[in-house]
Amino acid sequence: MNWRGHVLFALLLTFVSALACQTLHLSTLWEYLWAIPIIVFGALFPDIDIETSKAQRIVNFLVIVVALAYSFTTPAAFLNGGWRFALEILGAYFIVVYIFKPSHRGITHTLFSAFVFSAFVYLVFNLSYACYGLIAYISHLIADSHLRFLPKIRRK
Ligand SMILES: [Zn+2]
């Protein structure tokens, strides 16, 4: 599945599950719309292990935007350590992607990573964004038919 397919499938699955759990009302529709960048992020994040993939470029861009947006909520927040938070996120992300270079369909294509991802979203945002993130991430694994908890250990 290409990146468009992953994004569409994630949007569909998060929307349907929000309806099914009756968490989506007119009042929370706005929250769903705000969660779309996180849903797109979660749907594409597993493919950062494909070098120069469109998914990797979109995620690189979103990481920078989210890190800056979060630390720039107010000028005071930025001065009170927001800049450090942005640098930490960017540093951690680019070290993982460009120095550790996860193998394709390895650690990023696991339920373990899906939970780590949504825990991170929970810490930065809130529980409902974390749920959307988790469903979006798992939708990627379902679409790849690659549902496992931890990566297989490869013997060379
Ligand atoms: Zn994938």
Kindly indicate the confidence band of residue 154, based on its pLDDT and cuts at 50, 70 and 90.
Answer: low
Distance, CA 83 to ligand 1 centroid (Å)? 32
Mean pLDDT across 123-149: 89
Compute the chain's Rg from CA coordinates: 16
In a domain, 33, yes or no: yes
Per the domain annotation, does 96 fall within a domain? no
Length of the chain: 156
Determine, yes or no, domain membership for 86. Answer: no
Contact 46, 141 (CB under 8 A): yes
CA–centroid distance, 145 to ligand 1, in Å, is 9
For 82-126, how does the pLDDT look when each residue is reduced to its tens digit (9 = 90+)?
788 788 888 888 888 877 777 778 888 999 999 999 998 888 788
* Rounded-to-5 percentages of helix, strand, coil across the chain: 75, 0, 25
Total-model pTM: 0.82
Which range, of 1-15, 46-60, 106-120, averages the lowest pLDDT?
46-60
What was the pLDDT predicted at 155? 57
Residue 111 domain boundaries: 3-58+104-143
The closest of 31, 33, 50 to 140, measured between CA atoms, is 50
pLDDT above 90 (res 62): no
pLDDT tens digits for range 27-46:
788 888 888 989 999 999 99
What distance in angstroms lies between residue 46's CA and the mean position of ligand 1's atoms?
Answer: 6
User: Integer distance in angstroms from the first to the last C-alpha of the chain?
Assistant: 28
**Closest to 32 measured CA to CA, from 146, 152, 128:** 128
Say if 135 falls within a structural domain: yes
Residue 16 lies in a domain: yes
95 in a domain, yes or no? no
**Tally of domains within the chain:** 1
